[in-house]
Structure 1
């Protein structure tokens, strides 16, 4: 199995975001207002786009959004590889902090990478979220 991660155009993230994260919502709801200001990465398995994540920054503080792996490839370590890639990218960029709005049911995944829960929680689009962050 050949795995590659590379920077991709924002529009390439939308199909996987929609299918994996919000299949019940209209397609346009997965587009972010600032998508064209972000840095987007695609994980390819045997040349097929299988996972995506989007990264945004304000100075040396980075936020990742919409980490998604195709349903039939979840629990196979691909999310871990994509997460490790953006952690390495943030270190190279001299980030001081990386944070995300994590679905509460996924926070165990982020603990593995040294993320900590904050006191900030919210409910949106049918899901409970908690803000999680990691210091570098």
Structure 2
């Protein structure tokens, strides 16, 4: 059984750390604006398994730190979080949803209607491209 619900920001940190930065200090996963964002947790059999954080300015939304526990990856949980978040943005009348996507994860985002921009950068040894999805209402 899978459930997705809004969660408190600090609940995202353990999942982010285990999934994205296991070799880094724990505090690296804390975002300075975490307490201004909207955070969703995916519970698989009542265990917090995946998270994503959403931030917005006006009607433009950015998601950050989409993470699923390593032991639960490739089970569709990331896709379920994406679908939930996209639906949430539609309800909020967002005009755009964007992210800094790891270049090796581009294909994942294409499945949800995102397109690549020409904005690319490198950070902490990873290459990123900004990807966007437009909404029409």
Q: Distance in 2 between matches of 1:104 and 1:24?
A: 21
Aligned length: 135
1:12 alignment partner in structure 2: 11
1:33 alignment partner in structure 2: 32
Deviation of the 1:72 alpha carbon: 1.2
TM-score scaled to structure 2, two decimals?
0.97
Query: Runs of 4 or more off by more than 4 Å in structure 1?
Result: none
Q: Distance in 2 between matches of 1:127 and 1:25?
A: 14
2:91 alignment partner in structure 1: 92
TM-score scaled to structure 1, two decimals?
0.98
Matching of residues 1-136 of structure 1 within 5 Å: 2-136=1-135
Gaps of 5+ in 2: none
Q: Distance in 2 between matches of 1:104 and 1:124?
A: 12
